[in-house]
Amino acid sequence: MTLEQERWSRVKGRLRSTVGEDVYTSWFARMDLEGVHDESVKLSVPTRFLKSWIQSHYAERVLSCWQAEMPEVHRIDLTVRTAVRPVAAVKEVPPALDPRRETRSVAEPRPALTMQAPTGHDTLNGSPLDPRLTFASFVVGRSNTLAHAAARQVADGRRGDPVMFNPLYIHAGVGLGKTHLLQAVTWAGNSGTERKVLYLTAEKFMYGFVAALKTQTALAFKEALRGIDVLVIDDLQFLQGKSTQAEFCHTLNALIDAGRQVVIAADRPPSDLESLDDRVRSRLAGGLVVEMGSLGEELRLGILRSRVAAARAHHARFEVPEDVLGYLAHSITHNGRDLEGAINRLLAHSKLNNQPVTLEMAEREVRDLIRPQEPKRIKIEDIQRVVARQYSVSRSDLLSSRRTANVVRPRQVAMYLAKTLTLRSLPEIGRRFGGRDHTTVLHAVRKIEALVSKDTALSEEVESLKRQLQE
């Protein structure tokens, strides 16, 4: 190995340890050293996309890793190499004359469907919007007042207005109106001509990114994304994959730093988005985080009325008597989708049979929509709070590294409950308990499992904690 190659492998080692294994393999694994001349180092990557990505995100990191090995280095030149490297040394060709510079890698042929391949711009048409999901049809009640007000504020903003809370992060369980609210923001925001509001599901975001990667238009994708005023992302919990997350993170940072508004919905709070990087999580938590609770009976009644009104626009003779509305609002407690489904059924039934809607018919038609209450979403914070209260210790004791018996047992119980009552993984639970290792959590879970089978007092205690949490 030449001295240069040796240095290069040490630089790679440094890079790997500063950016972490995942980032390293995503972006740097295919970076090669072309040569070192005095103050500058020439590196190459196989695609233009990698080049622009590394230049915009990691240029300084790469430089400082070189400087740690060779302080005299002051410049990194990054080029796109052709797949078949000529035997002749690259460095002898002056860069300006080198025909291989910036040419497309033959190792990564264009996709067969070039004609239909999305460009950065096409991928950004946004996800389809449902014309019914507007502010006009959104019913405000106790559980969503704050989320609604914040969404309204965002929708009413004008280009250049100071951004009050960024990102606006709305979370709630299924069917509680997240998508409705986000689409309402998008409709309202785009009805003036001045601002561009883009609504994307996390899947669309991923699809756009992956498609752009394939056609190497990621830069265009990124640019287009950054050219919008409000970015609305729905169902963030589905965002997966390290490189997509990295892209999401950079987009988020770029938009927020540029004073653009970001609105996000997910089925859980930022702290529970396990697969996301810590920095993204804290950025998400740094704006306004609003939870929408379950729909109260009054709100359900409001939603039903609004649905009936909407249906009557097309079916003027469709009427739902008050007692039926009351019955539905009282018994369909689950979510907004079932309310919508119930009205659709009544409509279908009354049309097909040409009969008026009655209580009796409603009871029959919606029987299967009436289900027992969904178990409550239990959060790790709640578990810590309830356990701390039960054992008269503080929540910070539970998270601390103290090992006295009066904290160790409650902490183990809390970890055990976190494992059995939530879907969180062991490493996630460890992280939420003061950054403990997943093996510590596993140990605690096993320990309590073993104890409850023998120790009735403890077993009753655990049951009582579960009941308190599920109330």
Interface residue with ligand ADP, options 45, 139, 163, 444 (CB under 6 A):
139
H-type alpha helices, 35-86: 48-69
H-type alpha helices, 394-455: 395-399, 405-421, 426-432, 438-454
Of 27, 70, 74, 29, whose CA–CA distance to 52 is shortest? 27
Of the candidate spans 51-59, 177-185, 390-398, 463-471, the one that interacts with ligand ADP by CB under 6 A turns out to be 177-185
Of 428, 462, 437, 396, whose CA–CA distance to 268 is shortest? 428
Interface residue with ligand ADP, options 144, 245, 294, 331 (CB under 6 A):
144
Q: Is 201 in the site for ligand ADP (CB under 6 A)?
A: no
The span from the CA of 73 to the CA of 75, in Å, is: 6
What, of Mg ion, ligand ADP, none, does residue 105 touch, CB below 5 to 8 Å by kind? Answer: none
Q: How far is the CB of 267 from Mg ion (least distance, A)?
A: 8
Residues that bind Mg ion (CB under 5 A): 178-179
What, of ligand ADP, Mg ion, none, does residue 243 touch, CB below 5 to 8 Å by kind? Answer: none
The span from the CA of 344 to the CA of 363, in Å, is: 14
Interface residue with ligand ADP, options 237, 306, 358, 468 (CB under 6 A):
306
Backbone angles phi, psi at 173, to 5 degrees: -70, 180
Of the candidate spans 174-182, 195-203, 205-213, 417-425, the one that interacts with ligand ADP by CB under 6 A turns out to be 174-182
What, of Mg ion, ligand ADP, none, does residue 139 touch, CB below 5 to 8 Å by kind? Answer: ligand ADP
Of 464, 423, 419, whose CA–CA distance to 440 is shortest? 419
Backbone angles phi, psi at 263, to 5 degrees: -125, 135
Residues in contact with ligand ADP, total (CB under 6 A)?
18
Q: Is 237 in the site for ligand ADP (CB under 6 A)?
A: no
Nearer CB in complex with Mg ion: 170/441: 170
Q: Is 203 in the site for ligand ADP (CB under 6 A)?
A: no
Nearer CB in complex with ligand ADP: 172/462: 172
What, of Mg ion, ligand ADP, none, does residue 62 touch, CB below 5 to 8 Å by kind? Answer: none
- Which residue sits closest to ligand ADP, CB atoms considered? 336
What, of ligand ADP, Mg ion, none, does residue 138 touch, CB below 5 to 8 Å by kind? Answer: ligand ADP
Nearer CB in complex with ligand ADP: 23/133: 133
Give 178: exposed, middle or buried? Use CB within 10 Å, 0-12, 13-18, 19+. Answer: buried
Going by their DSSP bridges, the two strands 40-45 and 32-37 should be labelled as: antiparallel
Element (H, E) at 34: strand 32-37
Interface residue with ligand ADP, options 8, 135, 138, 391 (CB under 6 A):
138
Amino acid identity at 142: R
Q: Is 268 in the site for ligand ADP (CB under 6 A)?
A: no
Q: How many CA within 13 A on the CB side of residue 431?
A: 13
Q: How far is the CB of 181 from ligand ADP (least distance, A)?
A: 7
